[in-house]
Amino acid sequence: MALPKIFKAYDIRGTVPDQLNEELAYDIGRAFVTFLKCRQVVVGRDVRATSDAMFAALARGINDLGADVLDIGQSDTPMLYFAAHDKPAAIMITASHNPPEYNGFKMCRENAIPISGDTGIKDMESIAASGAFDPPAAQKGAIRKLDIKKEFVAYQQKAATFGGDKKLKVVIDTANGAGSLTYPDIFKGLDCDMVPLFMEPDGAFPNHEANPLLEENLVDLKKKVVDVGADLGAAIDGDADRCMFVDAQGNTLRADVIGTIVALEILKHNPGATFLYDLRSTRAFPLDVEAGGGKAVQCRVGHAFIKNQMREHNAIFACELSGHFYFRDHYFTESSAMALIRIMNLMHETGKTLAELAAPAQRLAHSGEINFKVEDKDGVLKRLEEKFGAGGAVSHMDGLSVEFDNWWFNVRASNTEPFLRLNLEAPTPDETDKHKQEIVKIIEQG
């Protein structure tokens, strides 16, 4: 049986009900247990209107094959990872930052280790398509409630050191997504002045899309930060595993800039530690980490790859240009709240504004990510390598990267959308613009 194209590189995701429905969710539950042979699965779900129905069908499939469901109820994805760190398997029902008509599943094996297309999602697709499920169990599994929220909130709060006479004022926009379930408890319990924005759970996302990478979704946050005189603002995505920041003037800060700041804050307390940065990130990150006595390791784009590489290197922290921040202390998984807390720690400790802290990490001229819809992606990459490869160090870790003495670029195919994505960086805006025009000319031929 041919299935809809919803089995992706990092998760299962599609529109409901035309691509993903309850019958398929039931089969995915059976395929998951058939593949992992697990007897217990932690399951959480976001605030989308279809998530309860998806949970019921998925849980029935898991139970029919004899495995128990540990139901943490409505949650965000970091809370699911926290609950799953010592369990044999886990599934988060979410479509992350996608519009409300989408839903899907993020999957983990033991200890919150992600399952990607290469490590199980495609196998589950084959099982579901062929009907090669394990037979129904003689004794069905059960659904058991697992109340983990208080413990999760307290664990996030442990990282905070800010407070005192001058309270930091922070505007937090959870976009009516799953962060609305956890951020109020986390930050109302800390010594700061939190200004909530769109913090009522509503899976229809009535105010704006829950995608903080798009500038149009930051308009309300920026206005609120300036209007209330806040020290900073944070925009959380639909399942709260990503966070983007704005400073007191309402300027957006790239996630790799925030990641550099966080890395240096962690490095001060962990001399010699190892940090990962994705290959699209500013080279200020490795330069500053290594100048501070740490070790910086470049990694591929994508949470499954990053989490595996973190474990390989026992890295203490990793950041991704898309707003994911990973912590060893959070079981090698994302915590947007921990990233925000560490930024606020540093602002309190140094007395500096976020703009002042960010300035050193912005000393190079980064292009930001530029997307191109291209039919012949391989042909474009080949032409770029023929043009630029001889003059620099070439890497195929993820797409094509070429590093020169004083500038670099990466062009890679998106794993989730039909685009080629370009990132480049040079010492000055003029040099970045010059190199960008050279590369864009070649891409647009394809």
Look at residue 161 and tell me if it is in a domain: no
Q: Are strands 68-74 and 40-45 parallel, antiparallel or unpaired?
A: parallel
Report residue 224 CA to chain centroid gap.
Answer: 25
Note whether 397 and 279 are within 8 A (CB): yes
Q: What is the pLDDT of residue 330?
A: 98
Interatomic CA distance for residues 359 and 369, integer angstroms: 20
Residues 198 and 287 in one domain: no
406 and 352 housed in the same domain? no
First vs last C-alpha separation in the chain:
35
Same domain, yes or no: 372 and 314: no
Q: Is 51 a catalytic residue?
A: no
Looking at the structure, tell me whether residues 50 and 131 fall in a common domain.
yes
Which pairing describes strands 232-236 and 243-247: parallel, antiparallel, or unpaired? antiparallel
Please check whether residues 174 and 141 belong to one and the same domain. no
pLDDT at 418 over 80: no
Q: Residue 295: which H helix or E strand, with range?
A: strand 295-299
| Catalytic residue of the set 51, 75, 96, 116 | 96
Residue 322 pLDDT more than 80?
yes
Residues 27 and 72 in one domain: yes
Range of the domain at 187: 166-253
Decide which of 362, 391, 414 is a domain's last residue.
Answer: 362
375 domain-assigned: yes
In a domain, 7, yes or no: no
Encoded amino acid at 273, one letter:
A
Final residue of a domain: which of 203, 228, 253? 253
Q: Does 310 lie in the same domain as 225?
A: no
Given this model, what pLDDT does residue 416 score? 66
Q: Are residues 222 and 338 in the same domain?
A: no
How far is it, in rounded angstroms, from Cα 93 to Cα 196?
Answer: 25
Report whether pLDDT(319) > 80.
Answer: yes
Note whether 343 and 396 are same-domain residues.
no
CATH number, position 373: 3.30.310.50
345/339 Cα distance (integer angstroms): 10
In a domain, 181, yes or no: yes
Residue 414 has a pLDDT of: 83
Residue finishing a domain among 307, 335, 362:
362
- Give the chain's length: 446
What is the value of pTM for the model shown?
A: 0.96
Does residue 446 have a pLDDT over 70? no
- Does position 213 have pLDDT exceeding 70, yes or no? yes
> Residue 160: inside a domain, yes or no?
no
- Measure the CA–CA gap between 6 and 116, rounded to whole angstroms: 13
Q: What is the pLDDT of residue 349?
A: 94
pLDDT per position as a tens digit, 372-411: 998 899 999 999 999 999 999 999 999 999 999 999 999 9
Q: Per-residue confidence at 2, pLDDT binned at 50, 70, 90?
A: confident
Assess contact for 113 and 146: CB atoms under 8 A: no
Q: Do 118 and 33 belong to one domain?
A: yes
Assess whether 235 and 224 both reside in one domain: yes
Any domain includes 155: no
Q: Which CATH number fits the domain that encloses residue 272?
A: 3.40.120.10
- Looking at residue 17, what is its pLDDT? 98
**48 lies in the same domain as 115:** yes
pLDDT digits (tens, 9 = 90+) for 230-272: 999 999 999 999 999 999 999 999 999 999 999 999 999 999 9
In a domain, residue 154? The reply is no
What's the total number of domains in the chain?
Answer: 4
The answer to the question of residue 3 being in a domain is no
